[in-house]
Amino acid sequence: MKRQYFGTDGVRAPYGSATMNEDFAWRLGAAAARFAKGKMRTSSKDVFIGRDTRASGPSLESALAAGIASEGFQPISLGIVPTPVVSLLTRSSAAAFGVVITASHNPASDNGIKFFGSNGIKLTDSDESQIEHLLPVSPSVLSDEDRLAQKTDALATYLELTGALLPPDSLQNWKIVLDTANGAACVSSRTVLENLGAELTLIANQPDGQNINADVGSQHPEKMSAAVKTVGARLGIAHDGDADRCILCDENGDVLDGDEILTLLALRALKQKQLEKNTLVITVQSNLGVDAAVQAAGGRVSRTDVGDRYVIERMLAEGATLGGESSGHVICSDISPTGDGLVAALKVIEVMLETGKPLSELRRGLRKFPQLTAALKVKDKKPLESLPTLPAVIKKIESELGNLGRVLVRYSGTEPKLRLLVEGPTDERVQSAMDQLTAATKADLEVV
């Protein structure tokens, strides 16, 4: 069933728009609760709600909670917490379901709502379609703050779990740069790393409701990289607004994306014979070099559509425990049922501790194919197959590249953008292909 409101990661839109306001949040909360009634895997009526640091979060939370309460559930606010905290607590407490109010890496002017089932795993496309069909026409009550209970110790379990991933005091004499994007991880990641003994240089750890992701975080690692070189840190860690992503940089300030993190972890696990099913799950967006590196080490790669929840679905289907996206979503499902930026960083540090090697050396396991990406903002998302120029150009480039490269053209599931990706044998051929794709896109669509 085609979804009208949900994208690749929940509902996301500018705050104040038709699909991200208090009325719609109430309706969505009521619809999710109605859906949960028909899918109850637990007798609990508790629903955990977390949010990031956006100014629009509290009012959306109040309205969402009122909609949930209208169907007989008990909404419980976890306050400002990373997305993986909601996932973990929902699963460990066997709550009815969990909700996070966040627009992830988007600017503060946007917000979003995404759901987790009682197992702590994001809902499927089919689940979201059913929720959309259960939306009431209008809210019967806009707000009902008295029905929203508070859970003040939401971070405690998460801090204990993540802090135990490394030996006590194992980061003594480690300098680390930490960029929390003025988002949900400002307290959690700092606390865990400092408790392990790290000396931190903090970036973007003063949220004011408007500065989340503002030229910082996983989308903008430049400040992190510069700080690593300035203070002589062993690595830098950057999250996005809700901290389910992780981008790193090595001691030289060179950035590692999700593909490099996943390859590093997969190669280490294969060497230790600890990679479940010898399988790493990634998306079609990941570099072809990941496949080559993992296969050379005796493993296999399984690819899915873009979206960390599709990665998780494939991991469950194949019995894999490691997967993720080039954007920095890294899922270690033996620890957390969803992407977790802090867990990803700690797992990489664990490899550094075990091997005694710097990150600049460990990253060499992945030799990337030449690749270019672009994200063109478009006025309308017209069906690609209906466009007069772009499909033919794609087919031409694919024919020229053969098995030496690939082309990926898709609309973003969360933004009004057309995403282009080209991989090939040389930088020159990749650039030529990207120029052709860009020109064809501008001929067919209104790029703004």
Q: What is the pLDDT of residues 266-282, one digit of tens each?
A: 999 999 999 999 999 99
As a whole number of angstroms, the distance between CA 258 and CA 247 comes to 7
As a whole number of angstroms, the distance between CA 332 and CA 326 comes to 15
Question: Does 268 lie in the same domain as 176?
Answer: no
Residue 165 belongs to some domain of the structure? yes
Phi, psi angles (nearest 5°) of residue 11: -95, 130
Question: Does 146 lie in the same domain as 162?
Answer: no
Question: Which pLDDT belongs to residue 39?
Answer: 80
Question: Does 302 lie in the same domain as 271?
Answer: yes
Both tokens assigned to 187:
């307290």
Question: Does 174 lie in the same domain as 88?
Answer: no
Q: Are strands 74-80 and 199-203 parallel, antiparallel or unpaired?
A: unpaired
Residue 226 belongs to some domain of the structure? yes
Question: Which pLDDT belongs to residue 195?
Answer: 98
208 CB neighbour count, 10 Å cutoff: 11
Question: Which pLDDT belongs to residue 347?
Answer: 98
Question: Which pLDDT belongs to residue 143?
Answer: 55
Q: What pLDDT digit, counting tens, does each position of 77-102 carry?
A: 999 999 999 999 999 999 999 999 99
As a whole number of angstroms, the distance between CA 355 and CA 347 comes to 13
Question: Does 177 lie in the same domain as 87?
Answer: no
Question: Which pLDDT belongs to residue 144?
Answer: 52
Question: Does 173 lie in the same domain as 135?
Answer: no
Q: If pLDDT is split at 50, 70 and 90, which confidence band does 147 have?
A: confident
Residue 181 belongs to some domain of the structure? yes
Whether the per-residue pLDDT at 145 is higher than 70: the answer is no
Q: Which of 254, 269, 304 is the last residue before a domain boundary? A: 254
Q: If pLDDT is split at 50, 70 and 90, which confidence band does 414 have?
A: confident
Indicate which CATH number applies to the domain containing 405: 3.30.310.50
Indicate which CATH number applies to the domain containing 118: 3.40.120.10
Question: Does 167 lie in the same domain as 147?
Answer: no
Q: If pLDDT is split at 50, 70 and 90, which confidence band does 381 have?
A: very high
Residue 364 belongs to some domain of the structure? no
Q: What pLDDT digit, counting tens, does each position of 5-62 carry?
A: 998 889 999 999 999 999 999 999 999 999 999 886 778 999 999 999 999 999 999 9
Percent of all residues in the chain with a pLDDT value above 90, rounded to a whole number: 91
Question: Does 120 lie in the same domain as 21?
Answer: yes
**CA of 204: how far to CAs of 212, 221, 238, in Å?**
8, 11, 10
Question: Which pLDDT belongs to residue 180?
Answer: 98
Contacts of 240 (CB under 8 A, 6+ apart): 104, 105, 181, 183, 213, 217, 218, 219, 328, 341
Q: If pLDDT is split at 50, 70 and 90, which confidence band does 2 have?
A: confident
Q: What is the mean pLDDT of the chain?
A: 95
Residue 20 belongs to some domain of the structure? yes
Whether the per-residue pLDDT at 239 is higher than 70: the answer is yes
Residue 328 belongs to some domain of the structure? yes
Question: Which pLDDT belongs to residue 359?
Answer: 98
Catalytic residue ranges:
104
Question: Which pLDDT belongs to residue 404?
Answer: 86
Phi, psi angles (nearest 5°) of residue 283: -105, 175
391 CB neighbour count, 10 Å cutoff: 15
Q: Which of 215, 233, 254 is the last residue before a domain boundary? A: 254
Stated as kind and residue range, the H or E segment containing 288 is helix 288-296
Both tokens assigned to 149:
């209970």
Question: Does 115 lie in the same domain as 211?
Answer: no
Question: Does 146 lie in the same domain as 53?
Answer: yes
Residue 423 contacts residue 369 (beta carbons within 8 Å): yes
Residue 331 contacts residue 322 (beta carbons within 8 Å): yes
147-156, 258-267, 302-311: segment of lowest average pLDDT: 147-156
As a whole number of angstroms, the distance between CA 292 and CA 407 comes to 18
What is the arithmetic mean of pLDDT over 291-320?
96
Q: What pLDDT digit, counting tens, does each position of 165-210 carry?
A: 999 999 999 999 999 999 999 999 999 999 999 999 999 999 999 9
Question: Does 279 lie in the same domain as 245?
Answer: no
The closest alpha carbon to 373, from 301, 328, 428, 437, belongs to: 437
Whether the per-residue pLDDT at 419 is higher than 60: the answer is yes
As a whole number of angstroms, the distance between CA 248 and CA 236 comes to 5
Whether the per-residue pLDDT at 405 is higher than 80: the answer is yes
Q: Are strands 300-304 and 46-51 parallel, antiparallel or unpaired?
A: unpaired
Residue 351 belongs to some domain of the structure? no
Domain count, the chain: 4
Stated as kind and residue range, the H or E segment containing 76 is strand 74-80
Whether the per-residue pLDDT at 227 is higher than 60: the answer is yes
Question: Does 216 lie in the same domain as 275?
Answer: no
Both tokens assigned to 138:
């209008």
Helices 22-38 & 57-69, crossing angle to 10 degrees? 40
Q: Which of 215, 230, 254 is the last residue before a domain boundary? A: 254
Residue 16 belongs to some domain of the structure? yes
**Which domain range does residue 433 map to?**
371-444
The order of strands in the sheet holding 406-411 is 371-377, 417-423, 406-411
Coil vs helix vs strand at 272: coil
What is the arithmetic mean of pLDDT over 284-312?
95
Question: Which pLDDT belongs to residue 42?
Answer: 76
Whether the per-residue pLDDT at 146 is higher than 90: the answer is no
Q: If pLDDT is split at 50, 70 and 90, which confidence band does 403 have?
A: confident
